Amino acid sequence: MPKDRSKRENEKTAALDSAREKSGDHFLTTDQGLRINDDQNSLKAGARGPTLLEDFILREKITHFDHERIPERVVHARGAAAHGYFQVYKSLASLTRAKFLQDPQVKTPVFVRFSTVAGSRGSSDLARDARGFAVKFYTEEGNYDLVGNNIPVFFIQDAVKFPDLVHAVKPEPHHEMPQAASAHDTFWDFISLMPESMHMIMWVMSDRAIPRSFRMMEGFGVHTFRFVNAKGVGRFVKFHWKPLLGVHSLLWDEAQKISGLDPDFHRRDLWEAIEAGQYPEWELGVQIVEEKDEQKFDFDLLDPTKLIPEELVPVVRIGKMTLDRNPDNFFAETEQVAFHPGHLVPGIDFTNDPLLQGRLFSYTDTQLIRLGGPNFHEIPINRPLAPLHNNQRDGHMRQTINSGPVSYQPNTLGGGCPMQAKADMGGFLSYAERLPGSKVRERSKSFFDHFSQAALFWRSQSEPEQEHLVQALQFELGKVENLPIRERMVGMLSQIDKGLAGRVAEGLGMPVKRIEGLLNLSIPADGDPKDFQPKRAVTSLDKSAALSMVLAPKEGIQTRKVAILVADGVDGEAVKGMQMALVAAGGQGKIVATRSGSLKAANGSELKIDFSLLTTGSVLFDAVYIPGGEQSVSALLRTPKARMFVQDAYLHCKAIAATGKGVAFFEAAVGAAYPEAEHGSKTRQTPKDWSQDSGIVLAPDSSPKQIAARFIKAIEMHRHWAREIRLASPS
Ligand code: HDE
């Protein structure tokens, strides 16, 4: 915590303590306010006798404890959240009448919860999974919830399949395994029979499903929504959150190791960034489509397994969200917050996306069981800032004391209040969409192209991203025990791309078989699948650069964490010099040593150790620096965990710098372990040429000052994928 911040906190605590002293509210009490005289012993018949039923203090305490847990969310159970605010850049009056999108001066408070989907509350943050990205805007017109994910499409097209999807992905019911993982038979059994899920599968098998942090992932509203302006003109809108720190991910090997070292990695990262004043920021972007253009795409805007490529409709950034305050209490806020895609404000409306329509029922229903009744809107975190007036009354845990006899409408006894509000008084008017059609249980023919956008995603990935996707599929399908499921899946992948299917199949040691007549239950029984493919349109793209993380521009090293690997006798000036350079660039240099406590540098100065090798690994950092110092380096050389630390960073394609004798340590740890890293020859005896690796900055004769700029540039790139490609195919 910065110094002035902690001073302020101390002053606040002292003031609170003295206020408490005066009011007497530092005493322990029962829930009825009775001051408790002894909280160490229950009431007994004699010091060695039985406990008495009369002990109402014990009974109250234990009863409350017994009821501490509420049902966890059936999906998105594991999450972390923060408070902040949103500000629009300029008025969007021409597009929407939503008040919070009119005035750049207005700061709308928000509460944002990030989550994984499949795992339980106590599961690892590092699961391969979509991440929830739910934002509650406390606007003056009432709460607006944008309940999205970090992936712009979804597995299924119709809400009626959601329970099946979730049953398939959750731990298998007979033995409750595996936790927070899709790598098991029931998930892939279901998916291999659901061609519509293929686009989402590409995303969840990509590195997007293992983000570097919540702060470095995008968010998407997924469905097409509607903006409606004051004149009642509607336009289609897709919502995007663009993180200002860029979009970055982990490698699967890192995710697995972090799960052991720090399963709270994402939660901790968000908490620590906010405590350190490094407030995470996202820009809200919109893609706008005029109503007349609804049919101009080669996909249906109402189909949630499709995105609108940014090349076809650009994302316009309309405002910024900043998260600047951690919750005070996890249960009261993060656990009890209740989101709902149906919490709307005037100016924003739904479309007929059949997945969205089903969600509108589910979210209230789920809160009734989770939060215990219809009054969950009165829980502080869910309370709107806008005043509430209605005739809803009573029920479990009602907080409001409504006065007077009138709880109906219309009335005269209450002066006609509360009254309906006309549109110009802020009343919500549903968009008056014309709805021709018959009542049918059917999927629109325009929903049946399941592979084009999956293939677009695959083609748009860079070489390393494609390789990671192949490896993820091999991992997941490799865990599937039923071979026909693997076969069906590989057959399904071959519909996306034959090369992709072949590479996955090779790892599984099986051929790619054509699956005759892909099972697709959503095609009517008497329908010919050929009739259920939309026609190709001129808008078809070969690639979309926006879909690749690797190709996205990289800027700065703000908040990136660099490990400085040291032992006693380290070159103290080098440590300080690098720390200062990193901090000046917005990053952090943390001292990682062979033990905890503090150590003595060669110049006699004392350095506080931030992390010990006993509890950390380079997977928890973005880059590594090894300073010189004869004694430090020889201690590191004798420590296998120190060698592994740098080897991992090397394998994970991170930036690594070394100065002075640190270079010899790098050579011994990495050069010896990976001879294929040598460019050209596996047997060369002379010092290796690392200059071809943009992520390795070695300077035996230089100080950190001379190499800091190069190292910072290397960290900015996030990863140096050419290394991975080289390691996979040594010459
Ligand atoms: Fe959800 N979803 N969902 N979902 N969802 C829930 O509501 C549901 C879907 C999303 O941090 C539940 O309060 C159905 C898509 C997020 O508290 C539940 C369908 C998207 C969160 C529910 C979907 C989401 C939830 C469980 C298919 C991305 C966590 C607990 C029709 C646009 C919110 C709860 C938080 C939570 C139902 C599909 C996002 C059961 C029926 C698509 C971020 O109501």
Is 72 a pocket residue for ligand 1 (Cβ < 6 Å)?
no
Query: Best substitution site from 72, 73, 151, 197 to test ligand 1's pocket, by max atoms within 8 Å of Cβ?
Result: 73
3-state secondary structure of 268: helix
Helix (H) or strand (E) run with residue 286 in it: strand 281-290
Residue 342 in contact with ligand 1 by CB distance below 6 A: no
Ligand 1 pocket, 151 CB below 6 A? Answer: no
Tell me what percent of the residues of the chain surpass a pLDDT of 90: 87
Q: What is the mean pLDDT of residues 74-93?
A: 98
Does the beta carbon of 527 lie inside 6 Å of ligand 1? no
Question: Which two tokens mark 115?
Answer: 């989550």
Tell me, what's the pLDDT at 521? Answer: 83
In 323-414, which residue ranges form alpha helices assigned H by DSSP?
354-370
What backbone phi and psi angles, to 5 degrees, belong to 191?
Answer: -60, -40
Which uninterrupted H or E stretch holds 458? Answer: helix 452-460
Three-state SS at 295: coil
Distance 500 CA to ligand 1 centre (A): 31
Residue nearest to atom 24 of ligand 1 (CA): 148
Interstrand relation of 561-566 and 623-626 (parallel, antiparallel or unpaired): parallel
Amino acid at residue number 345: V
Active site residue 76: yes
Q: What is the pLDDT of residue 75?
A: 98
Pocket test of ligand 1: the residue of 74, 76, 208, 350 to mutate, having most ligand atoms within 8 Å of its CB, is: 76
Catalytic position from the list 10, 41, 64, 76: 76
Rounded CA-CA distance 716/337 in Å is: 36
Query: What pLDDT shows up at residue 535?
Result: 60
* pLDDT in the model for residue 676: 59
pLDDT tens digit sequence for 90-113: 999 999 999 999 999 999 999 999
pLDDT of residue 517: 59
What's the confidence (pLDDT) of residue 684? 44
pLDDT digits (tens, 9 = 90+) for 427-445: 999 999 999 889 999 999 9
Question: Are 223 and 351 contacting, i.e. CB atoms less than 8 angstroms apart?
Answer: yes
Q: Which of 359, 369, 377, 381 to mutate to test the pocket of ligand 1 (most atoms within 8 A of CB)?
A: 359
Give the model's pLDDT for residue 532: 78
Instruction: Name the residue with the closest Cα to ligand 1, atom 29.
Output: 76
pLDDT digits over 576-602, tens only?
Answer: 999 999 999 999 999 999 999 999 999
Ligand 1 center to 572 CA (angstroms): 51
Instruction: Give residue 671's pLDDT.
Output: 87
- Side chain identity at residue 253, one-letter code: D
Does the C-beta of 339 come closer than 6 Å to ligand 1?
A: yes
Q: Could you tell me the distance, in angstroms and rounded to a whole number, from the CA of residue 368 to the centre of ligand 1?
A: 15
Residue 4 has pLDDT above 70, yes or no: no
Which of the residue ranges 101-105, 315-319, 382-386, 673-677 would you say has the lowest mean pLDDT? Answer: 673-677
Q: What is the pLDDT of residues 138-154, one digit of tens each?
A: 999 999 999 999 999 99
Q: Which pLDDT band holds residue 539 (cuts at 50, 70, 90)?
A: low
pLDDT value of position 682: 47
Residue 345, Cβ density class (10 Å: 0-12 exposed, 13-18 middle, ≥19 buried): buried
Q: What is the pLDDT of residue 524?
A: 84
Q: DSSP labels for 167-187?
A: HHHSPBTTTTBSTT---SHHH
Instruction: Report the separation in Å between the CA atom of 75 and the middle of ligand 1, taken as the mean of its atom positions.
Output: 7
Residue nearest to ligand 1 atom 42, measured at CA: 154
Is it the case that residue 204 has pLDDT exceeding 60?
Answer: yes
Give the separation between CA 501 and CA 493, rounded to whole angstroms: 5
85 CA → ligand 1 middle, Å: 23
The residue nearest atom 30 of ligand 1, judged by CA position, is: 73
Q: Is 637 within 8 Å of 665 (Cβ atoms)? A: yes
- By alpha-carbon position, which residue is closest to atom 9 of ligand 1? 359
pLDDT of residue 522: 85
Q: Above 90 in pLDDT, residue 691? A: no
Count of other CB atoms within 10 angstroms of residue 302: 21
Q: Give residue-wise pLDDT tens across range 173-199.
A: 999 999 999 999 999 999 999 999 999
Question: Is the confidence at residue 17, as pLDDT, over 70?
Answer: no
Using the mean position of ligand 1's atoms as its centre, give its distance from the Cα of residue 359 in Å. 7
Query: Atom 43 (ligand 1): residue with closest C-alpha?
Result: 132
Q: Which two tokens stand for residue 178?
A: 């595996």
Confidence of residue 553 (pLDDT cuts 50, 70, 90): confident
**Ligand 1 pocket check for 132: Cβ under 6 Å:** yes
24: left (phi over 0), alpha (psi -120 to 50) or beta: left
Look at residue 686 in the predicted model and tell me its pLDDT. Answer: 46
Among 621, 513, 539, 560, residue whose Cα is nearest residue 258? 621
**What is the Cα Rg of the chain in Å?**
29
Beta strands in 334-453 (DSSP E): 348-349
pLDDT higher than threshold 60 for residue 21: yes
Position 437 scores a pLDDT of 87
- Would you state the pLDDT for residue 520? 78
Which atom of ligand 1 is nearest to 79's Cα? 11
- pLDDT value at residue 679: 47
Pocket of ligand 1 contains residue 135 by CB under 6 Å: no
Non-local (6+) Cβ contacts of 541 within 8 A are 309, 311, 312, 456
- Mean pLDDT (the chain, rounded): 93
* pLDDT at position 25: 78
Q: Average the pLDDT over 50-60 and give the result.
A: 96
- The SS3 call for residue 351 is coil
- Is residue 226 classed as helix, strand or coil in its secondary structure? strand
150 closest CA partner among 208, 79, 201: 208
Between 262 and 6, the more confident residue is: 262
Kindly state the tokens that stand for 249. 């991910």
Q: Report the distance separating Cα 116 and Cα 209, nearest Å.
A: 9
Q: Give the model's pLDDT for residue 680.
A: 45
272-289: per-residue pLDDT in tens? 999 999 999 999 999 999
Does the active-site annotation cover 248? no
Task: Give the relative orientation of helices 162-169 and 354-370 as an angle to the nearest 10 degrees.
Answer: 60
Q: What pLDDT, in 10s, does the model give residues 214-230? A: 999 999 999 999 999 99
Task: Kindly report, residue by residue over 351-376, the tens digit of the pLDDT.
Answer: 999 999 999 999 999 999 999 999 99
Under 8 Å between Cβ of 80 and 266: yes
Does residue 672 surpass a pLDDT of 90?
Answer: no
Q: Which residues pair with 675 in a beta bridge?
A: none
- Residue whose Cα lies nearest atom 11 of ligand 1: it is 113
pLDDT at 516: 65
Q: Would strands 606-608 and 142-149 be described as parallel, antiparallel, or unpaired?
A: unpaired
What are the E-state strand segments in 72-167? 79-88, 108-116, 131-139, 142-149
- Exposure string for 236-265, b = 16+ CB within 10 A, e = fewer: bbbbbbbbbbbbbbbbbebbbbbbeebbeb
**Does residue 54 have a pLDDT over 70?**
yes
Q: What is the DSSP letter of 339?
A: -
Distances (CA, A) of 178 to 265, 701, 726: 20, 52, 34
Q: Which pLDDT belongs to residue 8?
A: 62
Over residues 482-509, the mean pLDDT reads 96
pLDDT over 70, % of the chain? 93
How many CA atoms are closer than 13 Å to the CA of 40, on its beta-carbon side? Answer: 1
Q: What does the pLDDT read at residue 513?
A: 86
